[in-house]
Amino acid sequence: MTVHDRVEINPKIMLGKAVIRGTRIPIELIVRKLAEGADEKMLLQAYPRLTTADLQAALRYAADSLAHEEVLTAAG
């Protein structure tokens, strides 16, 4: 299963934000909670519809998004 199997972008769900497929749980929320110190167990308890694979897909999606961001350099 790939990240695209687990992540959905649909303008009718959460205004088009990337979410875990079949939920209204945004990828941004998962990454933010992890950054604030939540661990996998805490997230799975707080959001029972999520799986470990969903959390991994969220992180892969975030990493892929950053890998494709445009890098600006200062004019020399």
> For residue range 5-49, what is the model confidence (pLDDT) as tens digits?
999 999 999 999 999 999 999 999 999 999 999 999 999 999 999
Pinpoint the alpha helices (H) of 1-76. 3-6, 27-35, 40-46, 52-67
Provide the pairing of β-strand 19-20 with 7-8.
antiparallel
State how far the Cα of 7 lies from the Cα of 50, in Å rounded to an integer.
12
For the chain, list the domains and their CATH numbers: 3-66 (1.10.10.10)
Res. 1: pLDDT tops 90: no
Predicted TM-score of the model (pTM): 0.85
